Amino acid sequence: MPEHLPRRQVLRTAGALGLGAAAAGALSGPAQATSTAGLPDKLTAMGVHHGKLEIRKDPFGTTSDGKQVDVYTFTNGQVTISMLTWGATIQRVETPDRRGRTTNISLGFDNLPDYATLSPYFGSTIGRYGNRIAKGRFTLDGTTYQIPINNGENALHGGTIGFDKKVWTAKVVQNDKAVGVAFTYVSPDGEMGFPGELTSTVTYTLDRRDTLRIDYYATVAGKPTIVNLTNHVYFNLAGEGSGSIEGHVLELNAPSYTPVDAGLIPTGEIAPTAGTPFDFSQPTAIGARIRDDHPQLVVGRGYDHNFVLGGEADDDGLRFAGRFWEPEDGRTVTVHTTEPGAQFYSGNFLDGTFQGIGNKTYRQGDAFAFETQHFPDSPNHPNFPSTVLRPGQTYTSTTTYTFGTK
């Protein structure tokens, strides 16, 4: 556990994690390291600290059909992340604020039944197709496919039982630079109406620079399919359950966005953000213009839009997508991605009807999500980047979340 933190804080953190006093001294549980391949190996002088990389595995619950679900908790001594095999879900993200006070900044639950019945995708890995497909229907190579409708008249996040509601297999990944878990799920041909057997491996690793890196990898067998994987972590950088995120300051690398119709399906237009409440090229509070008289803020009930990312990628194919900053406690999260877009969602459908992990009720605007992705409904918009994956091809995608303070 964190060597630089006072003992009292270590115990409090471990207690909050449900790890118990024994875990406060050593986070290394029964988890076994099985692979070191494909981990980030860039360590720059800036921001490096030297906490010990540790991981442990604990039971979390059992599904209604008797499958065991585990929670993996991994730390670099400063940031601590808990992930469930249910939905390859980020359950907790504990980071220090400007003054070194650590809290959980990610919305979630402390029990499996709430994830199974209440969760609006808190921290979930989303598949086979992130965001909406109009009327759940698309045509590929002349065949029309139907995905079950679960959002108005559309399909959202892979249909009624998406990858967020599956138990994934897990393998620990650990080397001297990063620690985390590789989650794998095999989706049979025809599951949720999608063609082809899709094998997805999504690897979450935390390095010593406080970067959580998500590497998505998928192949399809038998038939071509469509793929759009993402993660739906919700953050409140002042702490989960602490109130509104309207004061968070956002900077986005997004010269344009994809306007939507009343069902939140893109119209097909790629519209400039300049001069609109969607322009976050200069750091601006999320709440500054959220009530402006703009038709897209009305249909979205706030921000719930795909932003088209600009700028050049670095050698890794990653480019800056956005940065969120909470000015009171000073936490920041900076996102880079290989994806062409990101859904910035201002928590509009959180409606105060349930409580989360800290026994606080989540209300509208109490968190934001920033889902890196290909554009919603791409299969029905030939002008959008393609989401088709064919047998023999490999789907890859990488997103990084870097935690810090300012």
Choose, from 157, 232, 305, 374, the residue flagged as catalytic. 232
Integer Cα distance of 360 and 234 in angstroms: 15
Which listed residue (269, 281, 292, 349) binds ligand GLA by CB under 6 A?
349
Return the residues of window 263-292 that contact ligand GLA according to CB under 6 A: 264
Strands 80-84 and 68-75: antiparallel
Asked about 246 being catalytic, the answer comes back as: no
Binding-site member from 109, 278, 345, 403 for ligand GLA (CB under 6 A): 345
Q: Are strands 211-221 and 197-207 parallel, antiparallel or unpaired?
A: antiparallel
Segment interacting with ligand GLA, rule: CB under 6 A, options 15-23, 63-71, 187-195, 343-351 = 343-351
Give yes or no for a contact between 156 and 206, defined as CB atoms under 8 angstroms apart: no
Q: Rounded to an integer, what distance in angstroms lies between the CA atom of residue 102 and that of residue 99? A: 9
Q: Could you tell me the smallest distance in angstroms from the CB atom of residue 126 to ligand GLA?
A: 8
74 or 344, CB closer to ligand GLA?
344
Cα 185 to Cα 39, 108, 165, 168, 203: the distances in Å are 20, 22, 11, 5, 12
Spatial contact of 348 and 234, defined as CB atoms under 8 Å apart? no
Of 121, 185, 375, 403, the one binding ligand GLA by CB under 6 A: 121
Here the tokens at position 185 are 């799920």
Segment contacting ligand GLA by CB under 6 A, of 91-99, 202-210, 323-331, 342-350: 342-350
Smallest distance, ligand GLA to C-beta of residue 302, A: 10
Classify burial at 394, counting beta carbons within 10 Å of its beta carbon; exposed 0-12, middle 13-18, buried 19 or more. exposed
Query: What is the distance between the alpha carbons of residues 385 and 139, in angstroms, rounded to a whole number?
Result: 16
Q: Which stretch binds ligand GLA (CB under 6 A): 72-80, 93-101, 318-326, 341-349?
A: 341-349
Residue among 53 and 254 whose Cβ is closer to ligand GLA: 254
Report the amino acid identity of residue 84.
L
The count of other CB atoms within 10 Å of the CB of residue 190 is 13
**Of residues 289-308, which lie at the interface with ligand GLA (CB under 6 A)?**
304
Binds ligand GLA (CB under 6 A): choice among 76, 102, 131, 372: 131
Given the complex with ligand GLA, which of 96 and 376 has the nearer CB atom?
A: 376
Give start and end residues of each alpha helix (H) in 245-388: 295-299
DSSP string, 85-138: TBTTEEEEEEEE-TTS-EEE-B---SSHHHHHHT-SSTT-EE-SB-SEEGGGEE
**Minimum distance of ligand GLA from residue 191's CB (angstroms):** 20
Which of 305, 323 has the CB closer to ligand GLA?
A: 305
Using CB under 6 A as the binding rule, whether residue 156 contacts ligand GLA is answered as yes
- Smallest distance, ligand GLA to C-beta of residue 311, A: 23
The torsion angle over the Cα atoms of residues 308, 314, 318 and 323, rounded to 10 degrees, is: -70
Does the active-site annotation cover 240?
Answer: no
Smallest distance from the beta carbon of 264 to ligand GLA, in angstroms?
6
CA 86 to CA 116: how far, in whole Å?
A: 9
Q: How far is the CB of 151 from ligand GLA (least distance, A)?
A: 6
β-pairing verdict for 256-258 and 304-308: antiparallel
Among 194, 369, 384, 398, binds ligand GLA (CB under 6 A): 369
Three-state DSSP at 288 gives helix
Q: How far is the CB of 90 from ligand GLA (least distance, A)?
A: 15
134 near ligand GLA (CB under 6 A): no
Decide: helix, strand or coil at residue 222.
coil
Given the residues 54, 240, 326, 371, the one annotated as active site:
371
Residue 263, token pair as written in the block: 């069902």
Pick 76 or 346: Cβ nearer ligand GLA: 346
Question: Total binding residues for ligand GLA by CB under 6 A?
Answer: 11
- The binding site for ligand GLA (CB under 6 A) comprises 120-121, 131, 156, 264, 304, 343, 345, 349, 369, 371
Active-site residue numbers? Answer: 232, 371
